[in-house]
C-alpha cells in the first residue's frame, strides 16, 4: 500500500476530517429538544444538503455514507483495499438476495457494486464479480438448501469475509491488519456474550465465531461454561483488557458494545497522522461509518423521545 502516495486524496481527507462531527457537536445534538431541532442542528454540518433535500430521518445516515462511499471510491482510484472494505455491504445485499427478502428490505447502495450490478450478477452472472462472491453464493445456497436457516447462512458468509480479510490485510497495511484482527476478536467477544445469555449450544457458538483473530475460537468455547468472574479474569489477560475495564462487566451488553466501538475507533485513529498513503482514506471511511451509526442512533432516539441524559450515555468516542 505504501507504493503509492495518494497525495491528492490525503489532502482532501485532511480538510474533510475537520468536518467530522466531534464529541461536542454530538452531545449538542443529543441535547436537542426534539427531532426537529436535531435536524436543524444537523443541517449546519455536511449533512445539510441531505436534510434540505427532504430525506426522512431514517434515510439520512445511509445517504451520507453512500455519498462518502462515492467519494472514497474516486479518491482511492481502484485500490483493492477500499473495495475489500465495501464488499461487506455487497455481501449484505447478497444475503438478502439469497434469502429472497427483497420485498421487505431494499438492497443498500453502500457496497462496491451498485444494487443493480449485484442483482444482475445474482440472476445471470453479469457482470463478473470477484471469486469471493461466487463462493459466498455457493456456500449460501448450499446452507439454505441443507438447513433452511438464514442465520446460519449469514454466519457462514461473515466467516468467509473475515477469514479472507485476515489474509488480505497483512502486508498491505499494518494499521488495518491490526484493526481487522481487533474487530474479529471483539465481534467474537460480543457473540460469545450473547450466546451465553441466550444459552446457545457450543456447536452453535462455534458456527457463529469468526476466524482470524488473536483469540482463537476454541478459547471462547473453553470459557463458555465458566462464571462471569472467571470469564472476566480470562479476558483481562487478552490484548483487549481495556474493553473490559471500560464496560465494567462483560454481561452488560450495551456497555460492552459501547466499549467495543470506542476501542475500535481508537485503534483506527493513528490513520489521522499518517502523512501519505491510503490509510488516511480508509480511516476516514471507517470514521464516517462510525459517525453515521451515531447520527442514526441520535435521530432514532429523538424520534422515540429518549431523554437526552440517557441518549448521551449511549454516545461513543469519535474519530474527529
Partner 1 sequence: MDLGTVLAFAGVASAVVFSGFGSAMGVGIAGQVSAGVVAEDPGKVGKTIILTALPGTQGIYGFVIGMLIVLFKLPAFHGAVPLDAGLKFFLAGIPVGLVGLVSGIWQGKVAAAGVGMVGKRPEEASKGIVYAGMVETYAILSFVISFILVNSITP
Q: Which of 10, 136, 175, 215 binds partner 1 (CB under 8 A)?
A: 10
Q: Which of 3, 18, 131, 218 binds partner 1 (CB under 8 A)?
A: 18
76 near partner 1, rule: CB under 8 A: no
Using CB under 8 A, which of the segments 13-21, 81-89, 118-126, 294-302 binds partner 1? 13-21
- Which residue's CB is nearer to partner 1, number 8 or number 228? 8
Cα(253)–Cα(126) distance, integer angstroms: 42
Please report where in the chains the cell 421487505 appears, as a residue.
Answer: 104
Handedness of CA 145, 134, 204, 96 (dihedral sign): negative
Picking from 265, 255, 272, the residue whose alpha carbon sits closest to that of residue 293 is 265
261 near partner 1, rule: CB under 8 A: no
14 near partner 1, rule: CB under 8 A: yes
Where in the chain does DSSP place strands (E)?
none
43 near partner 1, rule: CB under 8 A: no
- Which residue's CB is nearer to partner 1, number 17 or number 27? 17
Q: How many residues does the chain have?
A: 320
Picking from 42, 304, 301, 303, the residue whose alpha carbon sits closest to that of residue 312 is 301
Shortest distance, CB of residue 279 to partner 1, whole angstroms?
Answer: 12
Q: Which of 48, 106, 275, 307 binds partner 1 (CB under 8 A)?
A: 275
11 near partner 1, rule: CB under 8 A: yes
Torsion of CA 306, 310, 314, 319, to 10 degrees: 90
Q: What CA–CA distances, in Å, run from 189 to 99, 213, 227, 238, 262?
A: 27, 11, 15, 11, 15
276 near partner 1, rule: CB under 8 A: yes
13 near partner 1, rule: CB under 8 A: yes
Interacting residues toward partner 1 by CB under 8 A: 5, 7-18, 275-276
Amino acid at each position: 500500500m505504501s507504493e503509492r502516495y495518494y497525495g491528492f486524496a490525503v489532502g482532501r481527507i485532511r480538510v474533510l476530517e475537520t468536518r467530522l462531527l466531534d464529541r461536542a457537536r454530538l452531545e449538542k445534538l443529543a441535547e436537542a429538544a426534539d427531532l426537529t431541532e436535531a435536524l436543524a442542528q444537523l443541517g449546519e454540518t455536511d449533512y445539510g444538503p441531505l436534510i434540505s433535500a427532504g430525506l426522512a430521518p431514517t434515510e439520512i445516515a445511509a445517504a451520507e455514507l453512500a455519498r462518502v462511499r462515492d467519494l472514497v471510491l474516486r479518491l482511492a482510484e481502484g485500490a483493492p483495499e477500499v473495495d475489500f472494505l465495501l464488499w461487506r455491504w455487497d455481501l449484505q445485499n447478497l444475503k438478502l438476495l439469497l434469502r429472497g427478502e427483497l420485498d421487505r428490505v431494499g438492497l443498500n447502495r453502500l457496497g462496491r457494486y451498485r444494487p443493480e450490478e449485484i442483482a444482475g450478477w445474482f440472476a445471470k452472472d453479469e457482470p463478473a464479480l470477484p471469486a469471493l462472491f461466487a463462493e459466498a453464493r455457493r456456500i449460501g445456497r448450499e446452507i439454505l438448501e441443507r438447513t433452511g436457516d438464514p442465520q446460519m447462512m449469514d454466519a457462514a458468509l461473515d466467516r468467509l469475509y473475515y477469514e479472507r480479510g485476515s489474509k488480505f490485510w497483512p502486508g498491505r497495511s499494518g494499521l488495518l491488519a491490526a484493526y481487522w484482527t481487533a474487530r474479529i476478536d471483539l465481534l467474537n467477544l460480543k457473540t460469545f456474550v450473547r450466546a451465553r445469555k441466550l444459552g446457545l449450544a457450543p456447536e452453535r457458538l462455534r458456527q457463529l465465531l469468526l476466524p482470524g483473530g488473536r483469540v482463537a475460537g476454541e478459547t471462547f468455547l473453553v470459557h463458555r461454561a465458566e462464571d462471569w468472574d472467571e470469564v472476566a479474569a480470562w479476558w483481562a489477560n487478552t490484548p483487549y483488557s481495556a474493553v473490559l475495564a471500560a464496560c465494567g462487566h462483560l454481561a452488560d451488553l450495551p456497555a460492552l458494545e459501547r466499549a467495543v466501538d470506542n476501542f475500535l475507533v481508537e485503534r483506527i485513529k493513528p490513520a489521522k497522522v499518517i502523512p501519505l498513503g491510503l490509510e488516511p482514506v480508509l480511516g476516514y471511511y471507517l470514521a464516517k461509518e462510525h459517525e453515521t451509526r451515531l447520527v442514526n442512533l441520535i435521530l432514532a432516539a429523538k424520534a422515540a423521545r429518549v431523554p437526552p441524559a440517557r441518549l448521551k450515555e449511549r454516545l461513543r468516542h469519535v474519530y474527529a
